[in-house]
Chains A and B, each alone.
Chain A
Amino acid sequence: MPGIFVYADTVEACASLISAAYGSARGVCALTFDEKRADELGGYGADKVFLLKGDNPMQESYAKAIAALLAKEGPEVFLVGSSTTGREIAAKVAMYLDCGLVGDISSLAFEGGKTITTRYIYGGAAIQTEVLDGYAVVTVPKGKFEARKYEGKTSDVITLKVESDNRVTLKETIPLEKDSKDLGAANIVVCIGMGFDKKEDMKIAEDLGRVLGATIGCTRGIVEERHWLPAGSYIGISGTTVKPSMYISLGVSGQIQHVVGIRDSKIIVAVNSNANAPIFMAADYGIVGDMYEIIPLLTEAIRDVKV
Chain B
Amino acid sequence: MAKIIACYKWVTDEADIRINSEGSIDFSKAKGKISDYDKNAIEAAMQAAQSIGASAVALTFGTAKAKLSLKDALTRGPAESFWVCSESAEKADGAATAKVLAEAVKKIGDYRLIICAEGASDTYARQVGPRIAARLDLPCITSVRGFEIQGDVITATRKLDNRTEVVKAGLPALISVLPEVNEAPIPGLKAVLDAGKKRSTEFKLQDIGLTDADVAPRTEVRDFKAYIMNRKNIIISADTNADKVKELVANLRKDGVI
- A interface with B by C-beta (< 8 Å): 58, 60, 63-64, 83-85, 87-88, 90-92, 94-96, 98-104, 116, 120-133, 136, 165, 167-176, 188, 212, 224, 231-232, 237-238, 245-246, 256, 263, 266-269, 275, 280-290, 293-294, 297-298, 301-302, 305-306
Residue on A with the closest CB to B160? A84
- Which among A101, A126, A136, A168 is the interface contact of B140 at CB below 8 angstroms? A168
Residue on A with the closest CB to B164? A174
Q: Is the CB of A286 within 8 A of B235?
A: yes
Q: Is the CB of B142 within 8 A of A84?
A: yes
Contacts of A128 in B (CB 8 A): 221, 223-224
Contacts of B59 in A (CB 8 A): none
Q: Is the CB of A289 within 8 A of B244?
A: yes
Q: Which 5 A-B pairs have the closest CB atoms?
A: A100-B218, A95-B134, A91-B127, A167-B139, A91-B130
Q: Is the CB of A176 within 8 A of B163?
A: yes
Known pairs A91-B134, A92-B140, A101-B125. 4 more at Cβ < 8 A?
Answer: A60-B140, A101-B218, A125-B226, A171-B167
Known pairs A122-B17, A224-B179; A284 contacts B225 (CB<8 A): no
Q: Is the CB of A126 within 8 A of B258?
A: no
- Selecting from B104-112, B116-124, B200-208, the interface stretch reads B116-124
Contacts of B130 in A (CB 8 A): 63, 87-88, 91-92, 95
Contacts of B158 in A (CB 8 A): 84
Residue on A with the closest CB to B136? A95
A3 to B29 alpha-carbon distance, docked (Å): 45
Known pairs A99-B95, A103-B126; A175 contacts B221 (CB<8 A): no
Q: Is the CB of B251 within 8 A of A285?
A: yes
Q: Is the CB of B235 within 8 A of A63?
A: no
Contacts of B249 in A (CB 8 A): 298, 301-302, 305
Known pairs A122-B17, A174-B163, A305-B258; A130 contacts B127 (CB<8 A): no
Contacts of B170 in A (CB 8 A): 167
Q: Decide if the interface of chain A is mainly helix, strand, loop or mixed.
A: mixed
A269 to B121 alpha-carbon distance, docked (Å): 27
Q: Is the CB of A132 within 8 A of B127?
A: no
Known pairs A122-B17, A280-B233; A85 contacts B160 (CB<8 A): yes
A292 to chain B, nearest CB (A): 10
- A-B residue pairs in contact (CB < 8 Å), sample of 26: A87-B127, A95-B98, A95-B134, A100-B94, A100-B218, A101-B125, A104-B125, A122-B122, A123-B121, A126-B226, A129-B223, A129-B224, A130-B221, A131-B220, A132-B219, A165-B139, A167-B169, A169-B168, A170-B167, A172-B166, A174-B166, A285-B251, A285-B252, A287-B248, A294-B245, A306-B258
Q: Decide if the interface of chain B is mainly helix, strand, loop or mixed.
A: mixed
- Which among B93, B168, B225, B233 is the interface contact of A168 at CB below 8 angstroms? B168
- B interface with A by C-beta (< 8 Å): 12, 14, 17, 19, 25, 93-95, 98, 119, 121-131, 133-135, 139-143, 155, 158-170, 173, 179-180, 217-227, 229, 231-236, 241-242, 244-246, 248-249, 251-253, 255, 257-258
A100 to B98 alpha-carbon distance, docked (Å): 12
A124 to B143 alpha-carbon distance, docked (Å): 21
- Which among B17, B95, B229, B236 is the interface contact of A286 at CB below 8 angstroms? B236
Q: Is the CB of B244 within 8 A of A171?
A: no
B117 to chain A, nearest CB (A): 11
A167 to B131 alpha-carbon distance, docked (Å): 16
